Structure 1
């Protein structure tokens, strides 16, 4: 018989209403300070260390980090902590070293607001805007849907209400503050949400250790239950070396292909701000990921016969704290989903209004008209995300991984665009097409999956995409020399500093 969570609706509603009310107020306040398209999409490149560091890691972390991953680890043991902890250490460092410093400079020099702004300018092709815009709609709407599904799960667990209530409620709040305040509203709320996430990770870990009777007792219990909980590759051989390496690379190197994280570099004030933000953000990510995932391991020793593994963190908090404190830190999990949705929602809105509408459909559209359209598009995309969350086509982890992997193929045109002058627009577009096709093939076709030898499908997909980039670029016309000079001469100055 499963150990069901007993709903605590009054404390939960009280805390959640206050929390969501604060988020809505911030959106209203941000709207009063949002005066231009640059403010709406990238805060006009004025974000400081605290906002930049916390906003980056809070956007990177999601419902998967606080629900799906601990739930997976609950069935694996210590080896499961390799799912994201090593990647959390490098997921801000590697992008900053490889592309971050250059993006800060390019963004300030040429007024780039989105990933498509950079790719379109670098490859001297408006087609890049269309390709990226379509890809973002296809992959990022599911990513937002995964977060909103988590909100539904939490509301159902703590109140007994249907999951769609949580899905709709969270969706409406996020739409409101993103529609009104854009990136300013998103990043201001990210600071609160990121801080709350760290607090949730710390408290959940402490409570889990106390519930388990201390580290020695927890480890003794795990050993008596199943020794594989204490060793690699974990229970059921979940974490073989190839999958371990895949997770480190997936959650660190491939974050460069995520538009909502890529755009964060355009918001940063300068290079010094970026490097300080890296230290702050990396510390926050490592601390939060380590403790919340470790709590999933500790929970094995104290909570058995759980109904759904994704409930492990809510159960630890509810059993170890009074209802109001438990609800407060449960709001930290809601914050993880909201902070991911808001960054993606603003970025996806930019893909539709700037990358597709202003650059392809109506090239004469003014910034003011795009600003107004952005608010409407934010509502429409938000409604689609809510419907996605209501119908729930898959698990949080599966949807999140699918979306992240799909956008990750843009690592190839981004890196080649910065480091190889000969790369062309057709090469970039072909690399994305081949990368997505290979990703789906190596995921869905058993024979091809075996050829990956246990590595994630994104690995062979990226290799094939890179090879395609080189071949097609060699066969097609390079961008004008003026375009190459605009990018590489400026980047050469950056590298020399």
Structure 2
């Protein structure tokens, strides 16, 4: 028994090591030259095409929340959470064209690199641009912290590595390819990780559903046990039409202003790249959010009594 456990642990460590090495390799081969311009380093020389732009926008916007937050919400609230996220964030793509296209145009015409520079160029008000920069920095820090935190929890769940060490390891790898490679490395690693995330989410849903006789059979079992998870108000009963509309409006008005998304408008190769990204983004949102929410709902069959923060760990648990 001990040897089986050791072999399984060795396999996990080998897979994780390969994953980190692939990230570093992508960062190395797509790196920006030491003597490159600021636009080349921070904006990938404004040459992100449709596929890479779509991948980096998606990976940057969802990341850890997709893995832990939505599966936990699926466990607590059921399928009512899916249209809020899948359709709500998909509808947000319209703002990518309305806002992102103009940001791209002004940025390219005036050689702008950062959002505060855009504010300064448009309003000729340095205190306002500094305030804008400060607000973006302050509200981005918690979001940045969530990514290594989530990775730390995942590594702890999978390998037993202490949470702090796992978070530090992931942070170190991210810093290595980001500082050396700039936006180009970040965007290409986002593409790799986005494909990997979709594959893992699909595999997780397949395993959970297969363990309980298939997706239809498993859903029927959960429906018999907890029918409220299939209702519009949700498992906790608080998703009224007003709440739904509020979420839709929130995503549409808020998400494009996230610093990590706003910055990427400058990096697009062309208006056509932004337009095609806008058209594909709703489809990606549907595909990305379906598996973790489904895993959360079906997770009741394996772990029926999770409460509080435990529900947010349902995906790695199953």
**TM-score where L is the length of structure 1:** 0.59
The residue that corresponds to 1:74 in the other structure is 75
How far apart are the structure 2 equivalents of 1:221 and 1:311? 22
Q: Any idea what the Cα deviations from partners look like across 1:102-123, whole Å, max 9, x if unmatched? A: 1221121111111111111111
Contact 2:84–2:248 under 8 Å retained in 1:
yes
The residue that corresponds to 2:46 in the other structure is 45
The residue that corresponds to 1:224 in the other structure is 224
Residue of 311, 314, 323 corresponding to 2:313? 311
The residue that corresponds to 1:265 in the other structure is 265
How far apart are the structure 1 equivalents of 2:185 and 2:60? 13
The residue that corresponds to 1:115 in the other structure is 115
In structure 2, the CA distance between the partners of 1:9 and 1:241, relative to structure 1 (3 Å rule), is farther
The residue that corresponds to 1:277 in the other structure is 277
Contact 2:23–2:189 under 8 Å retained in 1:
yes
How far apart are the structure 1 equivalents of 2:147 and 2:188? 19
Task: Give the length in aligned residue pairs.
Answer: 310
Contact 2:295–2:315 under 8 Å retained in 1:
yes
Displacement of 1:248: 2.0
Q: Report the 3-state secondary structure (helix = DSSP H, G, I; strand = E; otherwise coil) of the residue aligned with 1:263.
A: helix
Q: Report the 3-state secondary structure (helix = DSSP H, G, I; strand = E; otherwise coil) of the residue aligned with 2:30.
A: helix
Matches within 5 A, 1:236-251: 236-251=236-251
How far apart are the structure 1 equivalents of 2:299 and 2:260? 33
Q: Any idea what the Cα deviations from partners look like across 1:179-231, whole Å, max 9, x if unmatched? A: 11111111111111111122122222222321232344223322332221221
Matches within 5 A, 1:134-173: 134-173=134-173
Displacement of 1:244: 1.8
Contact 1:211–1:302 under 8 Å retained in 2:
no
- Structure of higher RCO (CA pairs closer than 8 Å, 6+ residues apart): 2
List runs of 5+ in structure 1 lacking aligned partners. Answer: 1-5, 317-497
How far apart are the structure 2 equivalents of 1:216 and 1:277? 33
RMSD: 2.0
How far apart are the structure 1 equivalents of 2:11 and 2:227? 39
Q: Any idea what the Cα deviations from partners look like across 1:393-425, whole Å, max 9, x if unmatched? A: xxxxxxxxxxxxxxxxxxxxxxxxxxxxxxxxx
Contact 1:212–1:302 under 8 Å retained in 2:
no
The residue that corresponds to 1:186 in the other structure is 186
How far apart are the structure 2 equivalents of 1:101 and 1:242? 30
How far apart are the structure 2 equivalents of 1:305 and 1:253? 36
How far apart are the structure 1 equivalents of 2:232 and 2:297? 14
Q: Any idea what the Cα deviations from partners look like across 1:268-318, whole Å, max 9, x if unmatched? A: 1111121122233332222111222222212223433458212221133xx
Q: Report the 3-state secondary structure (helix = DSSP H, G, I; strand = E; otherwise coil) of the residue aligned with 2:313.
A: helix
How far apart are the structure 2 equivalents of 1:88 and 1:202? 20
Matches within 5 A, 1:1-12: 9-12=9-12
Counterpart check, 1:207 vs 2:207: yes
How far apart are the structure 1 equivalents of 2:133 and 2:67? 29
Contact 2:86–2:289 under 8 Å retained in 1:
yes
How far apart are the structure 1 equivalents of 2:216 and 2:101? 45
Q: Report the 3-state secondary structure (helix = DSSP H, G, I; strand = E; otherwise coil) of the residue aligned with 2:77.
A: coil
- Higher-Rg member (1/2): 1
In structure 2, the CA distance between the partners of 1:147 and 1:32, relative to structure 1 (3 Å rule), is closer
Between stretches 271-280 and 115-124, larger displacement belongs to: 271-280
Between stretches 181-190 and 193-202, larger displacement belongs to: 193-202
How far apart are the structure 2 equivalents of 1:9 and 1:164? 19
Q: Report the 3-state secondary structure (helix = DSSP H, G, I; strand = E; otherwise coil) of the residue aligned with 1:142.
A: helix
Contact 1:67–1:310 under 8 Å retained in 2:
yes
Contact 1:201–1:289 under 8 Å retained in 2:
no
**TM-score where L is the length of structure 2:** 0.90
In structure 2, the CA distance between the partners of 1:213 and 1:201, relative to structure 1 (3 Å rule), is same
Contact 2:47–2:269 under 8 Å retained in 1:
yes
